A and B are shown apart, each in its own frame.
Chain A
Amino acid sequence: MNILSRISLAALLCVGLAACASKQEVKPTPPAPPPPAAPTQTAPVSNGKFTPADLETNACLMKRKIYFDFDKSNIKPEFDDIVACHAKYLVDNPGARVTLEGNTDPRGSREYNLGLGERRAKSVEQAMEALGASASQFNVVSYGKERLVCHQMTHACWAKDRRVDIVYTKTE
């Protein structure tokens, strides 16, 4: 299962990077380019802001799940990009609100897992706040093991259950 999830995560990462690249391509280039002023071209910050429309089209923003190891709540490096693009969205859209839903796999006790799910969701919240998102933009809910997405007794299945779902409740 580790190999499998790593492969899919790697794929995710690639898509994420590609999305960021393509996003900049799509931005309308300002008409009448001024005479060669090389340095100013590199960072069109004002134009690089995410908008609500990007939630449906941007490949990174369309990824709304962060997966975790068993009984762990640290964000693995392969999810840094997803955390970063959603944090950027929240910074770009201060009115946006998200609910972070923490989940666990079916192993372990039901109530302890509520705690573990919350710890995972808060770990995502803290990472996004470190990137500039505001605490007031977050709502954390832990479902523990109440919302399993997979019902087979396999490690691959359990890996899909151990997740934080990023749910936008307000997009701007």
Chain B
Amino acid sequence: MKRPGLKFLLASMVLVACAIPALPARAQGLTLDVVNGIPSAIPITIVPFGFESSTQPPATDVAAVIQDDMVRCGKFRTLTGSDIVEHPTHAGQIHFSTWKLLKQDYLVIGRERLVGHGQIRVAYELWNVTAQKKMLAGAYNAVPEELRGVAHQIADRIYQAITGQPGAFYTRIAYVTTTGSGKSMQWSLVVADSDGHHPQVVVRSRQPLLSPAWSPDGKQLAYVSFESGDSAIYIQNLSTGQRRLISGRKGINGAPAFSPGGKRLAMMLSFGGSPEIYVENLSTGQLTQVSHNLSINAEPRWMPDGQALVFTSDRSGKPQLYTEPVGGGGATRLTFQGEYNSNAAVNFDGSQIAMMQGMGNVYRIAIMDRKLDNQMRFISPGPLDESPSFAPNGSMLLYASTDNNGHGVLYEVADNGSVRQRLSLVNGGVQSPAWGPYRIPPASQGN
């Protein structure tokens, strides 16, 4: 990595200076803990990596980061601590009989050493225990601060080698934190690694911030800020901190969503009298109204082909999900089960639509499977769950919830609901999560 972190830090400091002076850009970290165990999943052991130089090993435990990734995606279970009875770091040291006895299907080993310029070389191998075959091997060069990123990239490759699907651990998430109360309340828009590490403040405000949305290349965030006294939509470049006002029209300027190609922005705007869905061409500024209905039309999300939007409307009384071609042609209702369906999230191929579904006073995250007759499955327990957001490979989701003290917390959950991980702030709330796209690894790390 070419230290995007540092660049980012500087960028956000510039921004902070404009809004509220003299605040550190590094955000308070979220605390993580796995909520559910997992009964049946693929057994894999990540053996602690060896350190082969004579200096102090780096603080980051690469094997532990990989292991956490494998567990939180809900598809694997791992051996930990003293259950890892042998510690091979090279292929010749593996006793396959040991791992067969421990009923392990896969084994990951690795080693690290200093290679100059402050860099560490991390080499790893993935072995199929039953076949006694090497499935994967590779190496990265990185400075110590980038080792978590390297570990996530290794986890992605392991995930793909075993499941056939790309991994999405080496990604980032955006969310909003709230601290303080009353007049001293502060909102911060934060970007962090997919496991909540390395939080960086993008913008802070004494007025509400909400609805962050990633551009498909991961370089920009669109969001809603009330800093002017009313809602306005901005797009901000994450590396330079520069931002531009996209819509500060009368009424609601809400729920921005980049088109899959990144050239258009869907929004919810009420300048015409009631909230409707619009699409703006970001290069020409041309605005097109998509929905035409005197109800609340909110939360547009793009279908992966960029031809249609999914949005929330209460035209039939209660909020339900609808879809409508971007070029117009009328809305089609998508949801018929549940009193209250809103907050749609669409997975990478459009086959799954997640939403918040309310029944009575319980709001849970449901996923509608469009390949299975629109069957609904619930992946969260409620009672106040909202804002689902898919990882780019669709294997996990982020959503927001409210704890018993009224504090916002986030959960990362496997798409089968088997494992949940809570992301919470020690002295405040977390809300409005948005999972970013795949990242391009920096070329300097080699492989």
Contact = CB atoms under 8 A, between A and B. Distances in A.
Interface of A: 71, 106-112, 114-116, 118-119, 140-143, 146-148, 150-153
B400 to A, nearest CB: 8
B211 A112 contact: no
Given A114-B275, A146-B226, A106 B384 contact: yes
28 contacts: A106-B384, A106-B402, A107-B361, A107-B384, A108-B340, A109-B319, A109-B343, A109-B386, A110-B211, A111-B210, A111-B211, A111-B312, A112-B296, A112-B298, A112-B314, A112-B319, A115-B252, A115-B274, A115-B275, A115-B296, A115-B297, A118-B270, A140-B251, A141-B229, A142-B252, A146-B210, A147-B208, A151-B405
A112 B342 contact: yes
Nearest to A157: B406
A161 to B, nearest CB: 11
B432 to A, nearest CB: 7
B230 interface: yes
B263 interface: no
Contacts, number: 95
B404 interface: yes
A138 to B, nearest CB: 11
Interface of B: 181, 208, 210-211, 226, 229-231, 251-252, 254-255, 268, 270, 274-275, 296-299, 312, 314, 318-319, 340, 342-343, 356, 358, 361, 363, 383-384, 386-387, 402, 404-407, 431-432
A109 B298 contact: yes
Given A115-B298, A141-B229, A110 B386 contact: yes
Given A108-B358, A110-B386, A143 B226 contact: yes
A158 to B, nearest CB: 9
B208 A146 contact: yes
Nearest to B230: A141
A30 B339 CA distance: 62
A146 B408 CA distance: 12
Contacts of B342: 108-109, 112
A111 B432 CA distance: 10
Contact of A118 (B275, B297, B361, B405): B275
Nearest to A149: B182
B254 A111 contact: yes
Given A107-B361, A109-B386, A146-B210, A114 B231 contact: yes
Nearest to A102: B252
A102 to B, nearest CB: 10
A9 B251 CA distance: 30
Contacts of A112: 296, 298-299, 312, 314, 319, 342-343
Nearest to B318: A71
Given A114-B231, A115-B268, A151-B181, 13 more contacts: A106-B384, A106-B406, A107-B361, A109-B298, A109-B312, A110-B431, A111-B268, A112-B314, A118-B275, A141-B231, A142-B231, A143-B226, A153-B383
Nearest to A150: B406
A115 B267 CA distance: 13
Nearest to B182: A149
Residue of A106, A114, A148, A151 most packed against chain B (CB within 10 A): A114
A16 to B, nearest CB: 27
Shortest Cβ-Cβ A-B pairs, 5 listed: A151-B406, A115-B296, A146-B208, A109-B343, A109-B342
A106 B401 CA distance: 10
Nearest to B231: A114
B298 A153 contact: no
Contacts of B254: 111, 114
Given A118-B252, A140-B251, A153-B406, A110 B384 contact: no
Contacts of A107: 358, 361, 363, 384
A140 B358 CA distance: 28
The listed residue with most B CB atoms (<10 A of its CB), out of A108, A111, A118, is A111
A118 B251 contact: yes
A110 B405 CA distance: 19
Contact of B432 (A110, A142, A148): A110
Contacts of B211: 110-111
Nearest to A142: B252
Most buried by B among A107, A110, A116, A148: A110
A76 B431 CA distance: 32
Contacts of A153: 383-384, 402, 404, 406
A31 B226 CA distance: 53
Nearest to A115: B296
Contact of B208 (A109, A115, A118, A143): A143
A2 B407 CA distance: 25
